[in-house]
Amino acid sequence: MNSGLLTAICCPETHQPLRPASGELLAALNERIRSGGVRNRAGRLMIEPCEAGLIREDGAVLYPFRGTLPILLIAEAIPLG
């Protein structure tokens, strides 16, 4: 993601800054997704792995990408805690 764009966007819920998810975090999240243990804020079971995501500054949620676009909808956020 373009670093200029990253500084311009924020969490739609709390307005905290966002940062790219690390490869380690995505690997751990995708393992949980494969085991069927991840739901987004809307309660939908996640079945597709996350190739990329943006993490809120407090580390509580991840906003996944679809293709090259981050999905910055509160309902689509994946709780990390």
Tens of pLDDT, residues 27-80: 999 999 999 989 999 999 999 999 999 999 999 999 999 999 999 999 999 999
Query: Given pLDDT bands bounded at 50, 70 and 90, which one contains residue 2?
Result: low
* Cα torsion through 73, 19, 80, 42, rounded to 10: 0
Q: Which long-range contacts (CB under 8 A, 24 or more apart) does 45-50 make?
A: 46/78, 50/21, 50/26, 50/78
